[in-house]
Amino acid sequence: MLGYNMSMKSGEFDRLRRLMVDAQLISRGISDKRVLDAMSKVPRHLFVPERDRAAAYEDSALPIGSGQTISQPYIVAVMTELLGLKGGERVLEIGTGSGYQAAVLGLLAGQVFTVERIELLARGAEKTLQELGYRNIKILSGDGSLGLESEAPFDGIIVTAACPEIPPPLLDQLADGGRLVTPVGERHHQVLIRAEKQKGRIVASDTIGCVFVPLLGKFGWHEPGSP
Residues annotated as catalytic (active site), given as ranges: 71
Sheet (strand 174-186) strand order:
137-141, 111-116, 90-94, 154-159, 174-186, 189-198, 201-210
Show Cβ contacts of residue 35 under 8 Å, excluding neighbours closer than 6 positions: 77, 80, 81, 104, 108
Cis amide bond preceding 224, omega within 30: no
Terminal CA-to-CA distance of the chain, rounded, Å?
45
DSSP state of 66: T
